[in-house]
Every structure is written in structure tokens, then in C-alpha cells.
Amino acid sequence: MILHLDMDYFFAQVEERENPRFKGEPLVVGSDPKGGEARGVVSTANYEARKFGISSGMAISKAYKLCPKAIYLPVNKNLYSRVSESIFRIMETVSDKCERVSFDEAYLDLSRVAKNYSQAEKIGRDLKEMILRKEKLTSSVGIGKNKMIAKIASEEDKPDGLTVVRPGETIGFISKKSVRDIPGIGPKTEKELEHILGKSDLKVKDLKRLSMDQLVNDFGKRGADIYKKARGKDDSRVKTKTETKSLGRETTFDKNTTDPEVIISTFKSLSKEVVDLAREEERNIKTIVTVCRFEGFDSYTKQISFKPKKPTRDLVYGEGVKLLLDLLTQKARPVRLLGVRVIFVKSKNR
Ligand code: TTP
Ligand code: MG
């Protein structure tokens, strides 16, 4: 369950907040138009200015032609970046699985925070409200079963929108979208797809006529990606800035024990818990650490490292229990606490 949040006309909205008399007037943030002669571009425009056809990335001279009477303001990056930081901090109070994508956009993984989509919707509403109270700015939120769906959903009802796409609604939702709404399909790919399918104004559902083979043939690896996305699938995960380095579970027995059956079965269920959590990270592990505290409170750990491997029960329990048995035979004393921990490899794509 993923939430995507995108601030509405971000730079311009911050400027309106700073100067409420700009509200309701067309406002453009970007380089100085210098009476229409300048060469820079538009960073963003508020919705009044967009009505004149002004958009992000457009030459500022063109914007000036479209609407000379608009208010033109320089980009105040320091200000937007302070606001941005504050917004992300708010988001991180909801879930520490937060991926900042740009100044005004981030994903939250809600899987462990919300039990169902109604709860996720409530979280989305609360988040918008918190940002409005703290920063006096509106945002748009999308919630869906993966990052792509969440992102497209946040665009659905801009400004000040909240759109929830439940898993069963995914296909219906995405099918009627334009192919350009799919992240990764730009104007060039759109043209090529139009050519292949012999039709313009392509909708996502039109893409289903293309087989995996054909797409891979024409677009390589990206083709496979398009095939999946056209079916509402996207398995990329939310990448947090500070990723989990290791993860473990431990338990203290009510009464110190020497019973091998109790010790082993407890260790087995701890291993299972650790593996289930580690799987969610979708990263390989390189080390397993077994912890044992004996009567009298002295703790011992033993660890084993190996080439990066998927965290499976066989691996974590299998290797972990060997370490545990070593510790138990060395010490031969009643056990007070047991634990197991896995250490992840660093992931590359950050
Ligand atoms: P966006 O979220 O793409 O746009 P936006 O927030 O202005 O408007 P919307 O309501 O449609 O979300 O980009 C966020 C900020 O990034 C935007 O306010 C200004 C900056 N930006 C640029 O400087 N240049 C660009 O080409 C784009 C697209 C954005
Ligand atoms: Mg935005």
C-alpha cells in the first residue's frame, strides 16, 4: 500500500503564501523575463497563469508573450527547500519508509502503518491536514497498490486532491489513462507506440494489444517495463534515505531454561519473524548473528558471514541454529534470552 504526495503548484504556492496579495493573480516563478527578451525558463506557474497556457519548462519569453501582466518572481530555492524539509519531516512521522523524489514529491510505504485502504485514506487526509496547518499549503495525495498507481492517482484530482485506488480498481483506473500518464513513457516513446499501433491519442488499454515479445523487441528492457505497467504492475520499492542496516528479534524466557526443545523451537520462530521482516526490505543479507544471554546476564554472540544471499528461513534458521548450538555447548548454562539478527548488504541504487 503506497501513498504518493505532490505539492500543488509548489514554488508558486509558497510565493502566494508569503505574499497573499498575489493570490488570484497569474503568477510565474522562473527567470526574469526582462520585458520578453530574456532566455531563461518558467519553473512553475500558479493555476491562474496556467489558464494562459503557461507551463513549467517553457521559455520565459514565450510565457511573457502569453501573459505580460502576470507577476514574475525569481526562484527562491532556499525558501522552497526549507518548506520542503518541513513537509518531508511531517511525512516521516507517518512512516519511516519515505522516499523523497524531488522538492515537492515523496512516496510513503503504508503497508505496515495501515491495515486496509480505509485506514490508508484516513492517513492521507490527516497528512494533507497536517501540512496545511503547519505550512499553509495544499497538496495532492494518491494511494494505490504500488508506486506507479499512487503517483498517477495523486495527479487525478489536483489541486488539493485525495484519490484512493483500491487493488480491485487498479485495472479500470489505469486502462482509461493516456499512455503519457505512465511514468517512463515520454513524447518520443508515445510517438513510436502510436506508429506501431497505427493510432493516435493512445490509452493504456490500447497497449495490451502488444505482446511482451513485441515490446521487448522494439524497446528492449524498457519494453518489458511498459508491458507490466500497462497491466497496473510496478514492483519498485520505496527507497528510504537511511536504509535499514540490520534487523533482528529477541525474546526473554519467563524462566531461564535448559530445555533444548524449548530453546530450538523459540529460535525457529524468531528466525521466521526475522526472515519475514527482512523479506520486506527486498535486499540480500551477508551476515547472521545469534545472541544468547545466560543466567547471570552475560551475553554472547556468534556470527557468520557469506556472499550476499536472499534471506530465507533455511538460511537464517539453518546457519543461525548452528551458531546457537555452538554457544550452548560452550557455555552449558540455563538460557535467559535468545536472539537472531541479519545484516543487509548496501543496496546500489542510491
Ligand atoms: P511539479 O510537481 O511538477 O509541479 P508543480 O508543483 O509546480 O505543479 P502541480 O500542481 O502540477 O504539481 O514540480 C514541483 C516544483 O518543481 C515546481 O513547483 C517547480 C519545480 N520545477 C521546475 O523548476 N522546473 C520544471 O520543469 C518542473 C516540472 C518543476
Ligand atoms: Mg507539484
* Whether the CB of 44 sits within 6 Å of ligand 1: yes
Q: Output the pLDDT for position 349.
A: 47
Contact call for residues 203 and 185 (beta carbons, < 8 A) = no
Contact call for residues 328 and 267 (beta carbons, < 8 A) = no
- As a whole-number percent, the residues of the chain with pLDDT over 90 amount to 87
Q: How would DSSP label each residue in 302-344?
A: EEEEEEEE---HHHHHHHHHHHHHHHHHHH-S-EEEEEEEEEE
* Whether the CB of 10 sits within 6 Å of ligand 1: yes
Contact call for residues 63 and 77 (beta carbons, < 8 A) = no
pLDDT digit string, tens, across residues 290-313: 999 998 878 899 999 999 999 999
* Whether the CB of 80 sits within 6 Å of ligand 1: no
| Count of C-beta atoms within a 10 Å radius of residue 248 | 18
Q: Output the pLDDT for position 208.
A: 94
Q: Whose CA is nearest to atom 28 of ligand 1?
A: 56
- Tell me whether residue 81 is exposed, middle or buried, using C-beta atoms within 10 angstroms of its C-beta: 0 to 12, 13 to 18, 19 or more: exposed
Q: Is the alpha carbon torsion for 305, 307, 311, 315 positive or negative?
A: negative
Instruction: Give the ligand at the shortest distance from the Cα of 12.
Output: 1
Distance 100 CA to ligand 1 centre (A): 14
Task: Look at the block and give the residue holding cell 509558497.
Answer: 14
Catalytic residue among 16, 105, 135, 281: 105
* Whether the CB of 103 sits within 6 Å of ligand 1: yes
What is the rounded distance in angstroms from the CA atom of residue 330 to the CA atom of residue 294?
12
What is the rounded distance in angstroms from the CA atom of residue 61 to the CA atom of residue 157?
30
- Whether the predicted pLDDT of 350 surpasses 80: no
Alpha carbon separation from 108 to 43, 102, 147, 238, 347 (Å, rounded): 26, 14, 9, 7, 19
pLDDT digit string, tens, across residues 3-62: 999 999 999 999 999 999 999 999 999 999 998 888 899 999 999 999 999 999 999 999
* Whether the CB of 15 sits within 6 Å of ligand 1: no
DSSP class of 345:
P
Q: Give the closest residue to 12 by CA, choosing from 213, 159, 167.
A: 159
Q: Whose CA is nearest to atom 8 of ligand 1?
A: 9
Per-residue pLDDT band at 348 (split at 50, 70, 90): low
- As a whole-number percent, the residues of the chain with pLDDT over 70 amount to 98
Domains of the chain: 2-8+78-167 (3.30.70.270), 10-76 (3.40.1170.60), 176-229 (1.10.150.20), 246-344 (3.30.1490.100)
Active site residue 105: yes
